[in-house]
A and B are shown apart, each in its own frame.
Chain A
């Protein structure tokens, strides 16, 4: 697959970068989203409890 692209035209390479780039950006930000959700679920309540305690 990559060999085909390396020998391909610039427009083919550009389309590949566009496709993989957009998927990559979404994938990485989905990971960040999951991290935020994980941290939020695990620690938002702790924050609230600390507030109430104060």
Chain B
């Protein structure tokens, strides 16, 4: 989707256990939800 929008060089960081210990942890585990950092650059 990012590339379709005109971005290149997409990088994704390691998963972060965002919901660990939070009330939403059960649903996060059920659907394997993690936080990620994304980096992309608009084409020149």
| Chains A and B belong together in one complex | no
